[in-house]
Amino acid sequence: MTSMLKTLEQTVRKNYFVKKAFFGLLKSPLITHNPLYSYLYQKDVEKKIRNLEKRPLAVSIENTNNCNLSCIFCPHEAMERTKGYVDRSLFERIIDQCVEIQVPHLVLVGFGEPLLDKDYVSKVKFAKDKGIGVISCTSNGILLNERISEGLVKSGLDYLNVSIDAANSETYGVIHRIRGADKPNFQYDRIVENIENFVAIRKSLGADRPALQVRFKDFDSNRGELRAFVERFEKLADELTVYLNITNWPGSRIKTSIPANAPMLKFPCYNIWSTLHIMYDGRVAICCQDYECREVIGNLNNESLMDVWHGDRLRQIRQMHLKRQFGKLPVCNDCVINTQYVSPWWGDDKIQ
């Protein structure tokens, strides 16, 4: 049974049309009014949390929250939080602690464009040399020049995820706007060239890492372009991933494709049992969706990773989730990550 469910999960994750059909099913009474579904979901949570509470499966470090784009699906331009870059000594202390408690995965990106950090390659190499098993990065690809591409390959980075969401320059410019500019964003051809150069450099160095994932999220703006997108990038990328536009940002007015009146089932959120999300200034947010860091669960300037992971505030939040008291947590109450639409099953062994 477990194997069959895993196969179903992978099919839904990888096939866009299956994913769309599955999304429709999640709005139906077969799910929303099905006590067996809710019961099995809750039992699955209870079964897994004891093991997950031992240590985080991943630590996400926001190397910077600066960004060079203003995308239609992102509230970055409205963010009120001070912008900056993670202090090198703080970064190294966090990595040392990750190694000590054997955190298997480092996500070296936060609410910004990571490659704006001129020290990014050096940070990846430091973490890899220290013994971090898997390191991943998500970028818009604009700054992925030949020098950085070579540096990322040599640094030991494992996954490079590039969000493109378009099959041509015009659509790309609508979705990924240049911050503060009146003219459209015509960086698409540059990004495609950057990706081609990255793949060529990786091959010339005899490497198969970082694995390249190219991403497409469906919007009204890029409707009808999926086939052209796949044809353009399927031979370049190691993996193509297509997302439905269903993930929201709590506190933001940016809309998703989930209808306002859609029936919603909320469950305990996997994020708070799997990952610590560290802001560039050392504060720890409840999760990646808390882009303003409104719910602070710790501060690594004066606490350790395990102090925060086993701390009173995170323990309280987990109990609220188990009791479905989401109204006590504004960030969680406004979020759809922990609903049947985004998390139809609990847990994901592939954090990127």
Q: Annotate 251-271 with b (16+ C-beta within 10 A) or e (fewer).
A: bbeeebebeeebeebbbbbbb
Q: What confidence tier does 23 reach under pLDDT thresholds 50, 70, 90?
A: low
Alpha-carbon gap, residue 175 to 35, rounded angstroms: 40
What are 83-120's pLDDT values in tens digits?
A: 999 999 999 999 999 999 999 999 999 999 999 999 99
Q: What confidence tier does 305 reach under pLDDT thresholds 50, 70, 90?
A: very high
The answer to whether the beta carbons of residues 96 and 208 sit under 8 Å apart is no
pTM of the model: 0.88
Average pLDDT, the chain: 87
From 195, 227, 228, 226, select the one nearest 212 (Cα to Cα): 195
Amino acid identity at 252: S
Residue 54 has pLDDT above 80, yes or no: yes
Which of 166-175, 272-281, 292-301 has the lowest average pLDDT? 166-175
Q: What confidence tier does 267 reach under pLDDT thresholds 50, 70, 90?
A: confident
Strand-pairing partners, residue 277, are: 60, 285
Residue 198 has pLDDT above 50, yes or no: yes
Burial zone of 348 (CB within 10 Å; 0-12 exposed, 13-18 middle, 19+ buried): middle
Residues of the chain above pLDDT 90, percent: 61
Residue 337 has pLDDT above 50, yes or no: yes
State both tokens at 263: 């029936």
Count Cα atoms within 13 angstroms, Cβ side, for 26. Answer: 21
> At a CB cut-off of 8 Å and minimum separation 6, what does 24 contact?
none
User: How high is the pLDDT of residue 9?
Assistant: 46
State both tokens at 152: 């990322």
Q: What is the Cα Rg of the chain in Å? A: 20
Alpha-carbon gap, residue 170 to 70, rounded angstroms: 15
User: How high is the pLDDT of residue 43?
Assistant: 84
User: How high is the pLDDT of residue 11?
Assistant: 45
Cis peptide before 210 (omega within 30 of 0): yes
Q: What confidence tier does 10 reach under pLDDT thresholds 50, 70, 90?
A: very low
From 89, 99, 100, select the one nearest 131 (Cα to Cα): 99
